[in-house]
Chain A
Amino acid sequence: MSQINVRVDGASYTDDVEPRTLLVHYLREQLGKVGTVVGCDTSNCGACTVHLDGEAVKSCTVFAVQADGCEVTTIEGIGADGALHPMQKAFHEMHGLQCGFCTPGMIMASIDLVNDNPDPTEDEVREGIEGNLCRCTGYQNIVRAVQQAAGEMHGRSAGATETLGAQS
């Protein structure tokens, strides 16, 4: 067992973990943060994406012990005071989810993308979230949601939605 000190969604934790424990299993099973899901077990699907010291990572491909001394943000920690994060709000408004299983990872990856690229084109969004798979193949509205949220997160008006309004 190794002892780790980690901040998750703003709270500090000190826990003993086996070195082989994956970060996603620590989050779900020891902390009860079941908003972060496991989709594939092969590092492909991105459903387990969280932010580790501010950068999106696949939490199935990091050992919990490696998060020692780090700040982890999960889908459960991005809203403020009960309000949805702009990315969550945009996924809701633009119907960026169908079954919803990929959504936590999609949102965490998309926030990371928009932090780096405040105004991504459609192609840049598609490339930026290539590490996340939607089993419903509902990518069209996911891309629209990311572009709408990018506008809101960076203080642009909702003008961008004019080109996004029609549902294909």
Chain B
Amino acid sequence: MIPAPFAYARPTTIDEALQAVAAGGEDVKILAGGQSLIPVMRLRLAAPETVVDLNKIAELRGVREEGDAIVIGAMTTHSDVIGDPLIARYAPLIAEATETVADRQVRHRGTFGGALAHADPAGDLPAVALALDAEFVLAGLAGRRTVPAAEFFVDYLTTALEEGELLVEIRVPKHEGWGTHYEKFNRVAQAWSIVAVAAVVRREGGRIAEAKIGLTNMGPTPLRAAGVEAALSGVEATREAVAAAAGHAAENTSPSSDLNAQADYRQHLVQVLTRRAVTAAAGL
């Protein structure tokens, strides 16, 4: 099976890429790592008129420190994320979750920004970005704007990216001193999450001062488990308190039913995984 014909552009700067997208006609697709796009093009579920390949744009790759945040270039590959020292120090949750994405070969090509812009509800990185209060920097011909993670994920496979815009970098606040854990449930190798939970927890002595919980595949977009976060705020850091708080994890979720799991099973599972994720993140 091969994709339908398309015009191919390979810009070397962000400005050139924006021009290529603008000039690409009605149906333009942006090619990042291609590990989701090329499979759907092969099946002809997508048949874009123009493909704009970002792989030669050096300024979109790499991680840098900027004040109280780290900034991850959208085209930084999953492999590079896993090995990056700044991510290891300030946001190890990202590396931990990225290690569970697909398989080695896919992680060599797939990119952090590509996975976020694709916004698959079963993808692991959107919930992680949401739990870490990341901000998304979008570039367009008119300039740049910054969108918080809570506003970036709009619907199933739909983000705040407007036509003609590119996701260029992701700013992640440093989370030094926080405990984090990504708890993922799937059944077979290289599988997508059936449900997963990203937990980001700050302790003060014997108490949980603050918790931020991101849920994967519990609705058309990644979700924050606000009920769990409220229940954990200020509680004594015990396994019992965490288990009680985790009972709120299914509130306001709307998971789908599919071959892997029915919605009510997902709502059960999310409570179990939240308890495990928070327990690990809190060091209990």
The interface bits of chain B over 48-79 (1 if a CB of A lies within 8 angstroms of the residue's CB, else 0) are 00010101000000000000000000000001
Q: How far is A43 from B46 in the complex, measured between Cα atoms in Å?
A: 16
Given contacts A20-B3, A20-B6, whether A131 and B102 have CB atoms under 8 Å apart is yes
> B108 near A56 (CB under 8 angstroms)?
yes
Task: Let me know if A112 is at the binding interface, CB within 8 A.
Answer: yes
> B39 near A113 (CB under 8 angstroms)?
no
Closest to A42 in B: B39
Task: Let me know if A137 is at the binding interface, CB within 8 A.
Answer: no
Specify which chain A residues have a CB less than 8 angstroms from the CB of B143 in the assembled complex.
none
> A57 near B105 (CB under 8 angstroms)?
yes
> A22 near B2 (CB under 8 angstroms)?
yes
Which residue of B7, B42, B55 is within 8 Å of A41 (Cβ)? B42
> B8 near A2 (CB under 8 angstroms)?
yes
> B38 near A63 (CB under 8 angstroms)?
yes
Given contacts A41-B42, A61-B35, A63-B38, whether A113 and B104 have CB atoms under 8 Å apart is yes
Query: How many cross-chain pairs have Cβ atoms below 8 Å apart between A and B?
Result: 81
Q: How far is A56 from B102 in the complex, measured between Cα atoms in Å?
A: 14
Total count of chain B residues near the partner, CB < 8 A:
28
Q: How far is A113 from B108 in the complex, measured between Cα atoms in Å?
A: 12
Task: Tell which of A46, A63, A112, A113 has the most Cβ of chain B within 10 Å.
Answer: A63
> B55 near A109 (CB under 8 angstroms)?
no
Closest to A19 in B: B8
Q: How far is A62 from B103 in the complex, measured between Cα atoms in Å?
A: 15
Task: Let me know if A55 is at the binding interface, CB within 8 A.
Answer: yes
Task: Let me know if A144 is at the binding interface, CB within 8 A.
Answer: no
Q: Is chain A's binding surface mostly helix, strand, loop or mixed? A: mixed
Given contacts A41-B42, A42-B39, whether A112 and B6 have CB atoms under 8 Å apart is no
Task: Let me know if B146 is at the binding interface, CB within 8 A.
Answer: no
Q: How far is A95 from B51 in the complex, measured between Cα atoms in Å?
A: 44
Task: Let me know if B106 is at the binding interface, CB within 8 A.
Answer: yes
Specify which chain B residues have a CB less than 8 angstroms from the CB of A62 in the assembled complex.
34, 38, 109
Q: How far is A129 from B105 in the complex, measured between Cα atoms in Å?
A: 9
Task: Let me know if A21 is at the binding interface, CB within 8 A.
Answer: yes
Specify which chain B residues have a CB less than 8 angstroms from the CB of A56 in the assembled complex.
104-105, 108
Q: How far is A46 from B106 in the complex, measured between Cα atoms in Å?
A: 10
Q: How far is A66 from B38 in the complex, measured between Cα atoms in Å?
A: 12
Total count of chain A residues near the partner, CB < 8 A:
32
> B190 near A44 (CB under 8 angstroms)?
yes
Task: Let me know if B4 is at the binding interface, CB within 8 A.
Answer: yes
> A46 near B105 (CB under 8 angstroms)?
yes
Specify which chain A residues have a CB less than 8 angstroms from the CB of B4 in the assembled complex.
20
Task: Let me know if B189 is at the binding interface, CB within 8 A.
Answer: yes
Specify which chain A residues have a CB less than 8 angstroms from the CB of B42 in the assembled complex.
22, 41, 60
> B108 near A55 (CB under 8 angstroms)?
yes
> B5 near A18 (CB under 8 angstroms)?
yes
Task: Let me know if A130 is at the binding interface, CB within 8 A.
Answer: yes
CB of B203 to closest CB in A, whole Å: 31
Specify which chain B residues have a CB less than 8 angstroms from the CB of A41 in the assembled complex.
1, 42
Which residue of B2, B34, B53, B109 is within 8 Å of A21 (Cβ)? B2
Closest to A49 in B: B105
Instruction: Taking A58-B106, A65-B53 as given, write out 5 further A-B residue pairs in contact, using a Cβ cutoff of 8 Å, ordered by the A residue number.
Output: A22-B38, A56-B108, A58-B109, A61-B109, A66-B34
19 A-B residue contacts at CB 8 Å? A19-B51, A21-B2, A22-B2, A22-B42, A41-B1, A42-B39, A43-B39, A46-B105, A56-B105, A57-B105, A60-B42, A61-B35, A61-B109, A63-B53, A66-B55, A112-B104, A131-B102, A131-B104, A131-B106
Report the 5 A-B pairs with minimum CB-CB distance, sorted nearest first: A131-B103, A19-B8, A130-B189, A55-B108, A20-B3
